Structure 1
Amino acid sequence: MDPRTSAQDVMRCDLCETAVVQMHCDTCLVNLCKACVGEHVSVNLSKPHKIVDFKDKQSIPIYPECTTHDKERCKMYCKQCDTPLCNKCIASDQHLGHRLSEILQILEEKRDTIIQNQIELKETIYPTYQDIASKVQIRISQLEKKYRDLSTAITKHAENWHREIDEHVKKLKAEVDVMKNTQRNTLQKHLDEVNKNISDIKDEINSLEDAVASKDIFYFYNVKFDLEKYKRLPIKIVPSLPNFTPGRIQGGELSKLFGSLAPSSMTTDEQGYRLGIKQKLPEAEFCLPEKQLLDEPETVTTIVTGYERLYNVACLSDEEIWTSGNGNIMKLFSINQGSLLKSIRTKSGNWPCDIAVTKIGDLAYTDHKDRTVNIVKNEKIEKVIRLKKWKPLGNCVTSSGNLLVILMSNDGKQTKVVQYYGSIEIESIQFKGTDKPLYSESEEKHITENKNLDICVSDNEAGAVVVVNRAGKPRFRYTGHTPAPKNQPFSPRGITTDSQSHILTADISNDCIHIIDQDGHFLRYIECGLSYPIGLCSDTNDNLFVAEWENRKVKKIKYLQ
């Protein structure tokens, strides 16, 4: 959405389309800045231009100029010809017998029609589409949860199979060991008997040699030996070795044994949506379970990041998180192991102001000093947005995959939220009403999108969480809860949401996390021994990850049942 034409921006000059409106031409019904007045008058010197202050512009109707007769104004309207008429048109024979009406009456009828259309669009059609979009978003979330559970079930089934296979392999190997030991013991016993005979034969040979060499006739005469005993050779033992015959799985049999998926489908409801009626999800359709807050949130894991100061954390998956701090290195950590998996250096060498993960798993980061928004794809950095008059602060990824970026003007006097489709600006949110700013002038701001598509900004200087709907219309401002854990003023930093549309924000002054519902009502604090919590994110299982600024640690906290 172009901020110059946005309903949330101030009115701009119709000529230069840049400066704020100051003057008005009552003759031509044109809004002008002071610099463009002379140019407007000089373009058409044939008619008198009545230039007045914008606040003093005429409220009386300006009749349209006749397209047939020069310098004539049309006060009548021919319904048959569907055209405005001046007095000269009426006097001609062209419209004799036609049904004529005063043009103001026609305009009034047209105005009534437009107002009715406007009311219907505003009060019926637009809310209906908003409700449809909300329900479709819920279905998408349900779809993600359902397929995630499906993948988990398949993985667990595979683990069971692996466990059964491992047990069967262990059993077969144990049987192999028993067979081997039995046959080995038999052969060893046989070998011992043969070796004994060999020893006995050696003794007999030595005895006979001694007798042959002896001169003692009595000794020689008494030599006795049993040659036949040794001619009777031992029984030959040949072990029969077992064979392993692997079971064969024919094509398609594995899927039958392991399990298969029923095909998915998409159906359409012939009755469709109905205007002005809240759309309900069918009872049979899978729904996200309602989760309750734990009485005592608990810290599950702590990850040491190694930064001098830690600022941001973003979930890549339920197993991995990205972090950034007061250096030009962004680090990817394993959540379960706490080990460093990857490091990425920013392209400019500046600190990343904020980080987020895209729908396809790429890392997005804002470079405040370089005035760019960047995407890391396969460890290569691509500048997707380059700004001139604005600097990017916080950023997040919407449910549709677009980027929401908080921008501050170079002079630090203006702040707005812009939604980008790739590098194309499609929406700008800056003002509450016509010219009252929504956000303060400070740089300390973070942003997220709630499950109901609200846009939530933590504004540190304002001491508030500012929430607008997807159309940019203000919904509420949350300014903290009393009593605070340390009785300090509300100082919001990082912000995230969960599957229940709770909004969670880090309060760095009170060492806690505030949980509020989607309408801005305070629910509870999370403390868990936190110290200077600054960055937040949550995973698909509603685990909360808190970046502690001074301790340089990320804590994984479970707070929902």
Structure 2
Amino acid sequence: MDPRTSAQDVMRCDLCETAVVQMHCDTCLVNLCTACVGKHMISDESKDHKVVKFQSRKSTPLYPGCNTHSKERCKMYCKQCDIPVCISCIESNQHLGHELSNLLRILDEKKDIFKKERNELNDTIYPTYQDIASDVQNRMSQLEKEYGDLSTAITKHGEDWHREIDKLVKKLKAEVDEMKNTQLQTLQKQLDEINKTMSDIKDEIKSVEMAIDTNDLSRLFSITSNVQRYRNLPPKIMVSFPKLIPGKIQGEELNKMFGAVSSSSFTSDKHGYRMKTTQKSPEAGSSPPVKQLLDEPETVNTIDTRYDNLYNVACLSDEEIWTSGHDSTMKLFSINQGSLLKSITTKSGKIPYDIAVTKSGDLVYTDYDDRTVNIVKNEKIEEVIRLQNWIPKGVCSTSSGDLLVIMDSDDYKPTKVVRYSGFTEKQTIQFDDQGKPLYSSGGYYRYINENRNLDICVSDKGARAVVVVNQVGKLRFRYTGHTPAPKNKPFNPRGITTDSQSHILTADANNECVHIIDQDGQFLRYIDCGLSEPWGLCTDTNDNLFVAQLRKVRKIKYLR
């Protein structure tokens, strides 16, 4: 076995190519045996050879040469000039007053940065691109299926047309046969009459001939001639033949009648993919199981809240819900028993505009008249936000524990969303990329919720739209309803909520239904099961929907 080419052999000296490697020159990056070290040291005396044990290779730093002093090596680093420097550079006062650092320290810092970047590439970026590649492949497979289904649908539609054309041809042929038979019967009747007349004429001819041949005068006078009757010829029946009047086959009209394929398009959403993260939370630690919409949503339970008008509902757990209506009392109900468990009166004695439940299970409510956001802890109300020149409306608690509040100005012109972290203002969302307002002006109903993908979803009655922005406040889409609507009335959004599938659900008071759209704003279906003036919405951890309507809360199952 040749030791120089055997993959199973130990590493050999780069000089003699036979002895086992024991040493390494960090300067020349050459593997050496002990016998060849001296030979290598004198092979190029211009270099400062750093020979170390093979196990310690690459441990000797290779200082860069100085661009100004060619014979010097740089062992320091000037942070102001951002370049390595040698002792001569320092002594020449070129870097007087500059902050200098040991080049090895800079080397360690850069290596730490590169290690972090390598870890990010390995642990986050590359796996994210793997997921993106898998997603694109899945989309390609879906594309093949969708286009295959489309071709099948076109073929089936063509077959339907052929069947209808065959029916039409058969019908027209039947009509032609009926017209032919009618005309033949008419002509046959006349032919029968003429044949009978011709027979009568022959008899008449015989009678006349007998008269001509007889000498019997009495008999002759008894014969009467009927020639005059036969001089009146029968009418000539003229037959008009039907013709096919073909409809003009015009391409555009035929296309309209047959149907057309809607245009395809590509859209690019630069916020469509999100970087994979190794940090896990209860909400984002794993993808939820995929659930399908039920063909027919079903009402599981109904709770009578005894409000004159019920506005809002918020899930405390899968067994308990908070409610608020047209008075100052917020009520906690048992879902299964429907019993009242607790009542809390607002601090101001005014009607709460909206309610929400935080991650820690505390009740939050906005006081429209008092311009405050309040939290209820251990049945004690704590004012956490007091606004100046702004009026709070909808509120929700986010997956990170922040509060999102949508608010109107005193003059009802600007409207904005504010994120509070630890009850300190952290983010304001008010305008799109062109500087135009994201939300309508005026004192309309507005409610807010955060989707599982961290989008911020606002139901804006003034705009008759659901306005969705991403986590940084960039507009993603506006949903303005779907036609036909159950009652064919304009979209009138009220309460809004989301579920584990990142669906967005909003109540439509005009059409007495709930719209379900996906995270990209595509309409999926209506929940239209006899709702009356639906208002507030919320979902529990099992994706049951709770709808506040009139004075009752309906629990609805809509996912399987």
Q: TM-score, normalised by structure 1?
A: 0.50
1-side partners of 2:528 and 2:439: how far apart? 27
Q: Is the 8 A contact 1:384 1:422 kept in 2?
A: no
What is the DSSP-based 3-state SS (H/G/I as helix, E as strand, rest coil) of the residue aligned with 2:352? coil
Q: Give the equivalent residue in structure 2 for 1:46.
A: none
Which stretches of structure 1, 4 residues or more, deviate above 4 A after TM superposition? 80-83, 96-99, 275-282
Q: Give the equivalent residue in structure 1 for 2:479.
A: 478
Q: After superposition, give the CA deviation of every residue in 1:202-236 in whole Å (9 maximum; x if it has no partner).
A: xxxxxxxxxxxxxxxxxxxxxxxxxxxxxxxxxxx
Q: Give the equivalent residue in structure 2 for 1:516.
A: 517
For residue 402 of structure 1, what is the amino acid of its counterpart? D
2-side partners of 1:473 and 1:541: how far apart? 30
Q: Is the 8 A contact 1:334 1:340 kept in 2?
A: yes
Q: Give the equivalent residue in structure 1 for 2:441.
A: 441
Match status 1:326 vs 2:326: yes
Q: Shift in Å at residue 289 of structure 1? A: 1.1
Q: Is the 8 A contact 2:313 2:321 kept in 1?
A: yes
2-side partners of 1:81 and 1:295: how far apart? 67
The verdict on how the C-alpha distance between 1:390 and 1:298 changes in structure 2, with shifts beyond 3 A counting, is same
Q: Is the 8 A contact 1:487 1:510 kept in 2?
A: yes
2-side partners of 1:409 and 1:306: how far apart? 33
1-side partners of 2:314 and 2:533: how far apart? 18
Q: Shift in Å at residue 441 of structure 1? A: 1.5
Q: Give the equivalent residue in structure 2 for 1:309.
A: 309
For residue 298 of structure 1, what is the amino acid of its counterpart? E
1-side partners of 2:533 and 2:286: how far apart? 40
Q: Shift in Å at residue 288 of structure 1? A: 2.1
**How many pairs are equivalent?**
299
Query: Which structure exhibits the higher relative contact order, with contacts defined as CA atoms closer than 8 Å and separated by 6 or more residues?
Result: 1
Q: After superposition, give the CA deviation of every residue in 1:476-508 in whole Å (9 maximum; x if it has no partner).
A: 000000100000011111000000000000000
- For 1:522-537, what aligned pairs fall within 5 Å after superposition? 522-537=523-538
Q: Is the 8 A contact 2:403 2:423 kept in 1?
A: no
2-side partners of 1:394 and 1:401: how far apart? 16
- For 1:124-143, what aligned pairs fall within 5 Å after superposition? none
Q: Give the equivalent residue in structure 1 for 2:455.
A: 454
For residue 355 of structure 2, what is the amino acid of its counterpart? I
For residue 469 of structure 2, what is the amino acid of its counterpart? V
For residue 513 of structure 1, what is the amino acid of its counterpart? V
2-side partners of 1:375 and 1:392: how far apart? 14
What is the DSSP-based 3-state SS (H/G/I as helix, E as strand, rest coil) of the residue aligned with 2:411? coil
Q: Shift in Å at residue 286 of structure 1? A: 5.9
Q: Shift in Å at residue 527 of structure 1? A: 1.0
Q: TM-score, normalised by structure 2?
A: 0.50
Q: Shift in Å at residue 276 of structure 1? A: 9.6
Q: Give the equivalent residue in structure 1 for 2:340.
A: 340
Percent of residue pairs bearing the same amino acid type: 68
The verdict on how the C-alpha distance between 1:82 and 1:518 changes in structure 2, with shifts beyond 3 A counting, is same
Q: Give the equivalent residue in structure 1 for 2:398.
A: 398
For residue 427 of structure 1, what is the amino acid of its counterpart? Q
1-side partners of 2:483 and 2:307: how far apart? 33
Match status 1:296 vs 2:296: yes
Q: After superposition, give the CA deviation of every residue in 1:415-442 in whole Å (9 maximum; x if it has no partner).
A: 1000101220001000012531000123
Stretches of structure 2 that go unaligned for 5 or more consecutive residues are 1-77, 82-91, 96-119, 132-272
Q: Shift in Å at residue 389 of structure 1? A: 1.3
1-side partners of 2:514 and 2:429: how far apart? 26
2-side partners of 1:470 and 1:277: how far apart? 14
What is the DSSP-based 3-state SS (H/G/I as helix, E as strand, rest coil) of the residue aligned with 1:510? coil
For residue 480 of structure 1, what is the amino acid of its counterpart? G
What is the DSSP-based 3-state SS (H/G/I as helix, E as strand, rest coil) of the residue aligned with 2:407? strand
The verdict on how the C-alpha distance between 1:278 and 1:400 changes in structure 2, with shifts beyond 3 A counting, is closer
Q: After superposition, give the CA deviation of every residue in 1:290-309 in whole Å (9 maximum; x if it has no partner).
A: 10000000000011111111
The verdict on how the C-alpha distance between 1:383 and 1:281 changes in structure 2, with shifts beyond 3 A counting, is closer
Q: Is the 8 A contact 1:453 1:469 kept in 2?
A: yes
Q: Shift in Å at residue 461 of structure 1? A: 1.1
Q: After superposition, give the CA deviation of every residue in 1:369-427 in whole Å (9 maximum; x if it has no partner).
A: 10000001111000000111111000000001110000111111111000101220001
Match status 1:413 vs 2:413: yes
Q: Give the equivalent residue in structure 2 for 1:354.
A: 354
1-side partners of 2:377 and 2:295: how far apart? 41
2-side partners of 1:335 and 1:304: how far apart? 10
CA RMSD of aligned residues (A): 2.9
Q: Give the equivalent residue in structure 2 for 1:554.
A: 553
2-side partners of 1:307 and 1:81: how far apart? 70
What is the DSSP-based 3-state SS (H/G/I as helix, E as strand, rest coil) of the residue aligned with 1:535? strand
